[in-house]
Amino acid sequence: MALPQSSESVAYIMYTSGSTGTPKGVLVPHRAISRLVINNGYADFNAQDRVAFASNPAFDASTLDVWAPLLNGGCVVVIGQNDLLSPRDFQRLLLEQSVN
């Protein structure tokens, strides 16, 4: 079964606290992610990028952390909490994984 594809299709739902403090779902289309991370005019992402990811995926900045490297041929290195909380382990992981 072929599904219709469009840059306007919803890629994911981001939840914000809104002005009321009650979580509110915002539909994020594929085009918004592409605009943010591909040929954006302010950052050059490429296949050599190895980006450390330690953000909460519910945080909107995680969109850049995840999709910038992946949509440009790079790699996301997920940092576990224990490594993040230990400066020695964090440094070791960054070096071992060639995070740049």
Question: Where in the chain are the domains?
Answer: 10-96
pLDDT in the model for residue 9: 92
Please give the model's pTM, rounded to 2 decimal places: 0.80
Task: Compute φ and ψ for 48, nearest 5 degrees.
Answer: -85, -10
Task: Encode pLDDT of 20-77 as tens digits.
Answer: 888 888 999 999 999 999 988 888 999 999 999 998 887 788 899 999 999 999 999 9
Q: Is the pLDDT of residue 93 over 90?
A: yes
Q: Which whole-number Å values give the CA distances from 52 to 1, 15, 35, 76, 84, in the listed order?
A: 37, 23, 21, 6, 10
Query: Could you give the angle at which helices 30-37 and 62-70 cross, rounded to 10 degrees?
Result: 80
pLDDT at 2 over 90: no
Q: Which CATH number fits domain 10-96: 3.40.50.980, 1.10.3210.10, 3.90.1520.10, 3.40.640.10?
A: 3.40.50.980
pLDDT at 69: 96
